[in-house]
Amino acid sequence: MTPIHTEEAGGLVCRFAGEVLRIEPWGPDALRIRARPNARDVLPGRVEVLLPPAPGAAATVAIAGETARITHGRIAAEIRMQIRLGAEVKREPVLRIFRADTGETLLEEARGHFAGPAPRAFKAIAGDSWRLEASFAAQEGEKLYGLGQPQHGCLDLKGVSTTLVQQNTHVVIPFVLSSRNYGFLWHNPATGRAEFARNITRWTADATAQLDYWITAGDGPRDILSRYADATGHSPAFPGWASGFWQCKLRYRTQEELLSVAREYKARGLPLSCIVIDFFHWTRMGEWKFDPAEWPDPDAMMAELRAMGVETMVSIWPTVQSNAETWSEMREAGFLMRTERGAPVTNVYPDKHPLALHYCTYYDATNPDARRYVWGKARDNYVKHGIANFWIDSCEPELRPNHPEQVRLALGNGAEVLNAYPHLHIQGFREGLVEAGHPDGVLLVRSAWAGSQRHGVILWSGDVWSTWRDFRAQITAGLHAGLSGLGWWTTDIGGFYEGIGKDAGFRELLVRWFQFGVFSPVCRLHGFRVPDELPLPNDGVPTYGDDTFRIFTATGGANEVWSYGEALERIFVDLLFLRERMRPYIMAQFAEHARSGAPVMRPLFFDFPADPACWDAADSYMLGPDLLVAPVVEPGATARPVHLPAGARWRCAWTGAEHPGGRCIVAEAPLDRIPLFLRDDAVLPITA
């Protein structure tokens, strides 16, 4: 009789009823699990972000009849044959993953009903593609974190159901950290869904060739994040200039307008590390070059900015409109994303020359030749002028309507691979920068995937609204991003949409958001402000005063630190210099993140896992190990409750008042002050 279980290449393989299930050691205390129906063996990942594991101690495989076990350090997995009376298949192999040292279950496959679907449910679509559901038993009291950058505002993901589809503001990095001391990576670029219900945990892939995930056991969040960074790549060293203040708005229309803002910052003696050139500086989407009518001398512009000590970043979109000079060449070369049926376009969007709605599509970032082509345009039209920092915008890609199964790429149907699009697009730019002699060039991205941190990217939270609700959600968005490996993170200070500069309510929100931005990993002022000359709305719904075409080619309202009146200017200037004083501390946290994977901005439980209240603290966080930050997130508030974690002494950074840990206090928070607490004997330059 053919054996069900075999030991192969240091791993455990189970073949039963046409399915192959392979479990391999993949880094210290970690396993990779793959399964494929109708096959003798599994495949490499469609997009491999797991790095080859370094040589280490071998796993131990033990087979006893129809039960088999693989043990690798602190983690072990067992496959046993499950008898299911009343099911369509009477026997099936079921997997349990547990701590090798304690026997505690970490993850266990489960059926919702004896008649199905199975724990690994493959539903044939066509050819070698399947719709996949992987179901696991829900564990009582478990809390989950990560999964990229969600906007639902929840810190604990237990009870959350969410799409695995890249969208503006909603970033999919399918890694979760569990309070049960394991980390789990859904190593699959397919679109789908993740559900963390009270009764079941379920991961869904809309179209895939196989099941593929990675799991590691650790002794706390810090240990687990370190293993994840080892497995998917560490961030490089963070460029020092990028820890300063960034000025940005939608949009500076001309070279002279941009320079005038930089000159004004310097004339006022204000810190300015970077000024950003937003979209529509180009001729047409997909030509990737400055419009000479508005940006006549980029070399002179860059020389003046360099003399002021100001870095520059330019917005790059992966879109190509059908009127672009590159369209025909790219289409004939197979460099454009295609639709499965119908016209070869995926979007309709305003663009210039002529000013109108245009059909456009995205270049195919899954095609390495297409990546090299697009990078070549960026190199020849930007890098040659001295610009080596790129704002990788709209890189989800942003399909309208969002039907991934309707598009075709070199690596497969969109439903199979589209979540990895931003990762591959980013990879092309990083490889190009290295080849061009600019390995430290900064990439600001609107989307990313597992492993993108190794390409040195700053994730920002996308086009969020200027509301208190959205502001609150940015705290948890940044925390989840850091727990997903993306420690370089930022948000649009003030939000992107519908900020009215002369509205008192927005001004209060902007101050509180600016305070949060100063104590975020990256500090960047950005937004599409309602033009200043427009009246306040009577119905509460702001207008930009023009049609869609003009909105995107015009400039929004002013968005510099002096744009909101003298009272706010004084607050913002104090905050700018506070950020300057904090830069050495922040740079030290970036260095630690590169070394160990520890997020710069992290939940309280990361440093204080023994305090149960820290696992639910969604509106405060640690910036590095020594500073607790508690943003004010309610309008009109001049005080707020703050939980001070047990296991440390705490000192108000403003008053010096000391508090024991393990209790909640009420912190004073006038408009010009964000509650900050120093741990134990830490000394930071909060006050001048």
DSSP per-residue string spanning 429-478 = HHHHHHHTT-TT--EEES---TTGGGG-EEEE--S-BSSHHHHHHHHHHH
- pLDDT bin (cut points 50, 70, 90) of residue 4 is very high
d(CA 153, CA 472): 7
d(CA 297, CA 313): 16
d(CA 463, CA 169): 6
pLDDT of residue 90: 81
- pLDDT bin (cut points 50, 70, 90) of residue 346 is confident
d(CA 519, CA 514): 9
> How many other C-beta atoms can be found within 10 angstroms of the C-beta atom of residue 300?
12
pLDDT of residue 111: 87
- pLDDT bin (cut points 50, 70, 90) of residue 552 is low
pLDDT of residue 341: 87
Is there a contact between 324 and 349 (Cβ–Cβ < 8 Å)?
A: no
Catalytic residue among 24, 287, 311, 393: 393
| pLDDT of residue 30 exceeding 80 | yes
How far, in Å, are 48, 470, 551 from residue 279 at the CA level? 31, 23, 12
Closest CA to 229 of 188, 177, 189, 166: 177
Bridging pattern class, strands 621-623 and 627-629? antiparallel
Q: Is 6 helix (H, G, I), strand (E, B) or coil?
A: strand
Q: Is 404 helix (H, G, I), strand (E, B) or coil?
A: helix
The pLDDT of 487-516, averaged and rounded, is 96
pLDDT per residue over 287-336, tens digit each?
999 999 999 999 999 999 999 999 999 999 999 999 999 999 999 999 99
E strand intervals along 37-103 = 60-64, 67-72, 75-83, 91-99
pLDDT of residue 343: 82
Is there a contact between 117 and 135 (Cβ–Cβ < 8 Å)?
A: yes
The pLDDT of 429-452, averaged and rounded, is 98
The pLDDT of 122-149, averaged and rounded, is 95
pLDDT of residue 206: 98
pLDDT of residue 86: 74
The pLDDT of 386-404, averaged and rounded, is 94
61 strand-pairing partners: 70
Catalytic residue among 396, 416, 607, 611: 396
- pLDDT bin (cut points 50, 70, 90) of residue 85 is confident
Least confident of 212-216, 218-222, 498-502: 498-502
Task: Give, in degrees to the nearest 5, the angle at Cα 162 between 156 and 164.
Answer: 120
Closest CA to 173 of 160, 159, 158, 162: 162
Q: Give me the chain's average pLDDT, please.
A: 95
Label residues 89-111 b or e (16+ Cβ within 10 Å = b): eeebbbbbbbbbeeeeebbbbbb
- pLDDT bin (cut points 50, 70, 90) of residue 657 is very high
- pLDDT bin (cut points 50, 70, 90) of residue 392 is very high
What radius of gyration do the chain's Cα atoms show?
26
Is there a contact between 371 and 428 (Cβ–Cβ < 8 Å)?
A: yes
Which secondary structure element, helix H or strand E, spans residue 419, and what is its range?
none
pLDDT of residue 549: 64
d(CA 13, CA 15): 7
Burial of 319 (0-12, 13-18, 19+ CB in 10 A): buried
The pLDDT of 250-255, averaged and rounded, is 94
Closest CA to 270 of 279, 261, 280: 261
pLDDT of residue 400: 84
| pLDDT of residue 234 exceeding 90 | yes
Is 396 a known active-site residue? yes
| pLDDT of residue 108 exceeding 70 | yes
Q: In the chain, helix, strand, coil percent, each to 5?
A: 25, 30, 45
Is 393 a known active-site residue? yes
pLDDT per residue over 396-425, tens digit each?
999 988 899 999 999 999 999 999 999 999
Structural domains present in the chain: 5-137+182-217 (2.60.40.1760), 240-596 (3.20.20.80), 603-679 (2.60.40.1180)
pLDDT of residue 291: 97
Is there a contact between 10 and 64 (Cβ–Cβ < 8 Å)?
A: no
* Helix residue ranges per DSSP H, 449-603: 468-483, 504-518, 548-553, 566-596
pLDDT of residue 546: 65
| pLDDT of residue 1 exceeding 60 | no
Q: Is 173 helix (H, G, I), strand (E, B) or coil?
A: strand
For 214-267, give the secondary structure using H, E and C: EEEECCCHHHHHHHHHHHHCCCCCCCHHHHCEEECCCCCCCHHHHHHHHHHHHH
| pLDDT of residue 41 exceeding 60 | yes
pLDDT of residue 542: 80
Task: Give, in degrees to the nearest 5, the angle at Cα 393 between 405 and 386.
Answer: 140
Task: Spell out the residues 6+ positions from residue 324 whose beta carbon is closer than 8 angstroms to its own.
Answer: 284, 285, 286, 287
Closest CA to 206 of 490, 24, 6, 407: 407
Q: What percent of the chain has pLDDT over 90?
A: 88
- pLDDT bin (cut points 50, 70, 90) of residue 128 is confident
> How many other C-beta atoms can be found within 10 angstroms of the C-beta atom of residue 548?
10
The pLDDT of 601-616, averaged and rounded, is 98
Catalytic residue among 463, 498, 619, 626: 463
- pLDDT bin (cut points 50, 70, 90) of residue 548 is low
| pLDDT of residue 89 exceeding 90 | no
Burial of 55 (0-12, 13-18, 19+ CB in 10 A): exposed
| pLDDT of residue 556 exceeding 90 | no
Q: Is 614 helix (H, G, I), strand (E, B) or coil?
A: helix
